[in-house]
Amino acid sequence: MSALTPASEVILRHEDEFADRRVVFAGDLQDTLPAQLSAADVRVHTSQYHQWQALSPALGDRCRFGLLAEEDLLAGCDTLVYYWPKNKPEAQFQLMQLFSLLPVGCELFIVGENRAGVRSAEAIVEEYASLAKIDSARRCGLYHGLLEKRPDFSPEAWWQHYTTGSLTIAALPGVFSRDGLDIGSHLLLSSLEPHLKGKVLDVGCGAGVLAAAIAKMSPKAKLTLSDVSAAALDSSRETLRINNIEGDVIASNVYSDIQGRFDLIISNPPFHDGLQTSLQAAETLIRGAVRHLPIGGELRIVANAFLPYPNVLDAIFGGHDVVAQTGRFKVYRAILGRSSPGLKAH
């Protein structure tokens, strides 16, 4: 996260504006600009754990991770710099929560890529602030305005629920498969055998669909769910709660905060980083699995059929199986054996 994103480069074109301001950054941050910006005070609220990991060494308690920004973090701030995410409901949720705590008269800077839909910022906030576009560069737009009134904000109003089989799934804005079970996860679940035993790790748990379904199929499985998204973590906790399922839900950047070994690691890994196709997270998932599987332990993932995961699986595990597939997706299984090349990494 060292190189600056196009959105941050646009912000830097206006760096002099922030010299005497008390700034809070929020939204879809993907670099370390807040740690580099010259301002009277800089704080960060992030709902992405890996962003907190990158920024907290420099900012300490002035950078916090969680679903909701805390009132004491925003206290005294007179400027908000918000990075527009690709998910519009997520932007609405985050902005309304921030606006409910920031003082009237707070300066607003909203920046994002045009193709992510930053143009809709004006309409979304028009009841609470009037925005004007003040810059356009690097295929990004920068909007400026003042907070004119605070909204009433209740996180409970933003929950969405749906059913799949006997399960009820709870999801917040920005969480993958918020509107229903996606095709890839459905295929992955269809490939699993019932009555699994042992420890199961669901990496990138989203709303907790995979883990909850495994719990219903295999009540003796011991579940651990992890994700970088605070919204996903809260959604998974709520999904487990309303379905009376036990499990540990942990903030972790792939394996950064995962301890121990698991009999099964399962994932529907993302391959989009913002709006860019990125294989890094899935490759990290595959390569790191050998440190968290016992001999005979299994990694099972679903992916778009065109992605080059078989090469990585073969390099790390010495082989793989395709246990389910459609025209678009494949479910890969790799079992850690004594001849696995990946064991050399220990």
The boundaries of every CATH 3.40.50.150 domain in the chain are 6-155, 159-343
Is the confidence at residue 274, as pLDDT, over 70? Answer: no
Which pTM was predicted? 0.93
Mean pLDDT (whole number) for 9-35: 96
Task: Give ∠ CA 171-172-178 in degrees, rounded to 5.
Answer: 50
The Cα–Cα gap between 81 and 157 comes to: 25
Is the confidence at residue 338, as pLDDT, over 70? Answer: no
Strand runs labelled E in the chain: 22-27, 41-46, 63-65, 79-83, 107-113, 129-137, 140-147, 160-164, 167-171, 199-203, 222-227, 248-251, 264-267, 272-273, 276-277, 298-304, 321-325, 329-335
Q: Is 191 exposed, middle or buried (0-12, 13-18, 19+ CB in 10 A)?
A: middle
Structure tokens at 24: 């809070």
**Residue 277 exposure: Cα atoms within 13 Å on the Cβ side:** 5
How many beta carbons lie within 10 A of that of residue 2, not counting itself?
6
CATH of 159-343 given 3.40.50.2000, 3.50.50.60, 3.40.50.150, 1.10.3720.10: 3.40.50.150
Alpha-carbon dihedral angle through residues 218, 219, 225, 231, given to the nearest 10 degrees:
110
What pLDDT, on the 0 to 100 scale, is given for residue 141? Answer: 98
DSSP for residue 229: B
What pLDDT, on the 0 to 100 scale, is given for residue 277? Answer: 47
Residue corresponding to tokens 């909203």: 110
Which has more confidence, 267 or 276? 267
CATH fold for the domain made of 6-155 = Rossmann fold (3.40.50)
Mean pLDDT (whole number) for 138-152: 97
Closest CA to 215 of 236, 233, 232, 235: 236
- Transcribe 71-130 into DSSP letters: HHHHTT--EEEEEPPS-HHHHHHHHHHHHTTSPTT-EEEEEEEGGGTGGGHHHHHTTTEE
- List, for residues 41-87, the tens digit of each pLDDT value: 999 999 999 999 999 999 999 999 999 999 999 999 999 999 999 99
The Cα–Cα gap between 294 and 310 comes to: 21
The dihedral region occupied by 186, where left means phi > 0, alpha psi between -120 and 50, and beta the remainder, is alpha
The Cα–Cα gap between 268 and 202 comes to: 9
How many beta carbons lie within 10 A of that of residue 74, not counting itself?
20
Is the confidence at residue 344, as pLDDT, over 50? Answer: no
What pLDDT, on the 0 to 100 scale, is given for residue 174? Answer: 94
Closest CA to 67 of 291, 304, 197, 237: 237
- Asked whether the beta carbons of 22 and 79 are under 8 A apart, the reply is yes
What pLDDT, on the 0 to 100 scale, is given for residue 278? Answer: 61
